């Protein structure tokens, strides 16, 4: 990949993870455009020293932090007409505790009535832990620019030494409202992107979109951060369930998944475990859409599929399935074959053999018991059908996993 292509991919990936990307002239005073930062901390403050570009060297990736706990990544790009400086950030290495936010508010003389706005500001900033794939991508970009192991990594702790100016009361309420509106708009935009991805089964968007979700602003109604995240996970479970439903998944399939996650949410012991569970929820609902979406099927075929999947040990003869819907067996056979491109019998046998393979692999049940769970009381017939689908007898299949 060439330099420009690598730069474009790097910037777009950071943007998709909600990390701001900016370019600056190394010969000009550094200016970070962050309206909310200036609104909360003061117009005269800058997140990074204005003269910082003078200290930046080539062939070096800088990771900087300031007293506000905001982190940035800076590096000089290969010489251009503007001698561009690439600025990535702000981001947070981890979620800030309530105590840390209170200490920041005290240090920067932020009045109590703006505490909620300050909390929402930090909640809106992307969280990039040390294990984030973005840092690996950044290292790869450095190798593309300068070659393997031919560049430096430096960490700098910067200061904010501009004078603090007391905020005026004029337009304060209006400004607070506009800031809250902006954060809320960002939250809803992220949630809408999540809903769309799940409804389309776009599992490949998982890493980027879940890093966005992790840094989404949401109201902290309790002092316990774990309880807050659990509450938000409950909301996310509902959003994901509705997204999968809009993607064509019937509530029959959604109910068990949603109930299982609701129980597991209450049992997570740590913040990291809760975040990991949200990522699992996203992937699970995406795969559910991929596997169980029924948008393309008529009501008759949808009901038939659900009756089959509900109990594979039941009598699933064509006549029984048709009778349950007050339609003829011939009509059901024709419409099922037209919409699924397989016969009712073929579909049932395929599902039953998948269940049989799972039971043979994960349990010690006797073959005749497995056959009964699959609705086949004739063990010889079961073995014949199993070998047709799995290319092995049930006994040989089980032995291959031992």
CATH number at residue 318: 1.10.10.60
Per-residue three-class SS string for 345-397: HHHHHHHHHHHHHHHHHHCCCCHHHHHHHCCCCCHHHHHHHHHHHHCCCHHHH
Q: Quick one: 25 and 156 in the same domain?
A: yes
More confident residue, 223 or 308: 308
The answer to whether the beta carbons of residues 124 and 216 sit under 8 Å apart is yes
Q: Are strands 71-76 and 84-91 parallel, antiparallel or unpaired?
A: antiparallel
The pLDDT, as a whole number, for residue 309 is 87
The pLDDT, as a whole number, for residue 182 is 67
Q: Quick one: 119 and 7 in the same domain?
A: yes
- Mean pLDDT, residues 326-347: 94
Q: Quick one: 91 and 239 in the same domain?
A: no
Q: What is the overall mean pLDDT for the chain?
A: 83
pLDDT in tens, 354-392: 999 999 998 989 999 999 999 999 999 999 999 999 999
Q: Quick one: 287 and 322 in the same domain?
A: no
> How much is the pTM?
0.50
More confident residue, 295 or 217: 295
Starting at the edge strand found earlier in the chain, the sheet holding 60-65 runs 21-25, 84-91, 71-76, 60-65, 152-157
- Mean pLDDT, residues 239-257: 90
Q: Quick one: 192 and 159 in the same domain?
A: no
Q: Is the pLDDT of residue 157 over 90?
A: no
Q: Quick one: 189 and 161 in the same domain?
A: no
Domain limits at 42?
A: 3-167
The pLDDT, as a whole number, for residue 143 is 87
Q: Quick one: 35 and 148 in the same domain?
A: yes
Q: How many domains, in total, are found in the chain? A: 3
Q: Is the pLDDT of residue 286 over 70?
A: yes
% residues pLDDT > 70 (the chain) = 87
The pLDDT, as a whole number, for residue 149 is 67
The pLDDT, as a whole number, for residue 183 is 64
% residues pLDDT > 90 (the chain) = 32
- Mean pLDDT, residues 254-263: 91
The answer to whether the beta carbons of residues 340 and 302 sit under 8 Å apart is no
The pLDDT, as a whole number, for residue 165 is 38
Q: Quick one: 16 and 152 in the same domain?
A: yes
The pLDDT, as a whole number, for residue 175 is 57
* Structural tokens at position 185: 């708009």
- Mean pLDDT, residues 321-327: 94
More confident residue, 189 or 67: 67
- Mean pLDDT, residues 72-91: 82
The pLDDT, as a whole number, for residue 2 is 75
Q: Is the pLDDT of residue 59 over 60?
A: yes
Is 177 part of a structural domain of the chain? no
């Amino acid at each position: 990949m060439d330099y420009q292509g690598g730069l474009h991919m790097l910037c777009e990936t950071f943007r998709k993870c909600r990390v701001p990307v900016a370019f600056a002239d190394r010969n000009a005073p550094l200016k970070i455009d962050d309206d909310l930062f200036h609104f909360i901390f003061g117009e005269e403050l800058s997140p990074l020293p204005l003269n910082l570009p003078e200290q930046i060297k080539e062939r070096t990736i800088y990771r900087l932090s300031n007293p506000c706990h905001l982190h940035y990544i800076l590096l000089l790009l290969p010489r251009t007409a503007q001698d561009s400086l690439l600025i990535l950030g702000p981001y947070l290495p981890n979620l800030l505790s309530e105590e840390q936010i209170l200490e920041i508010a005290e240090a920067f003389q932020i009045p109590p009535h703006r505490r909620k706005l300050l909390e929402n500001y930090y909640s809106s900033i992307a969280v990039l832990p040390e294990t984030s794939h973005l840092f690996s991508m950044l290292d790869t970009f450095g190798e593309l620019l300068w070659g393997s192991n031919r560049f430096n990594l430096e960490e700098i702790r910067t200061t904010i030494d501009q004078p603090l100016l007391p905020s005026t009361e004029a337009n304060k309420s209006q400004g607070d409202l506009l800031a809250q509106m902006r954060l809320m708009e960002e939250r809803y935009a992220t949630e809408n992107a999540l809903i769309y991805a799940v409804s389309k089964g776009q599992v490949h968007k998982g890493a980027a979109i879940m890093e966005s979700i992790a840094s989404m602003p949401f109201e902290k109604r309790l002092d316990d951060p774990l309880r807050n995240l659990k509450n938000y996970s409950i909301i996310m479970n509902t959003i994901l369930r509705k997204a999968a439903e809009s993607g064509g998944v019937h509530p029959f399939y959604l109910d068990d998944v949603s109930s299982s996650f609701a129980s597991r949410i209450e049992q997570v012991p740590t913040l990291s475990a809760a975040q990991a569970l949200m990522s699992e929820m996203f992937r699970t609902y995406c795969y559910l859409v991929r596997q169980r979406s029924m948008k393309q099927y008529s009501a008759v075929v949808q009901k038939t599929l659900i009756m089959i999947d509900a109990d594979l040990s039941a009598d699933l003869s064509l006549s029984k399935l048709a009778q349950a819907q007050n339609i003829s067996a011939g009509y059901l056979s024709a419409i099922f074959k037209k919409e699924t491109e397989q016969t009712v019998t073929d579909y049932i046998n395929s599902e039953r053999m998948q269940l049989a393979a799972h039971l043979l692999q994960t349990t010690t049940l006797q073959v005749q018991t497995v056959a009964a769970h699959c609705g086949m009381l004739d063990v010889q017939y079961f073995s014949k059908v199993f070998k047709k689908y799995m290319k092995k007898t049930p006994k040989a299949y089980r032995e291959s996993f031992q």
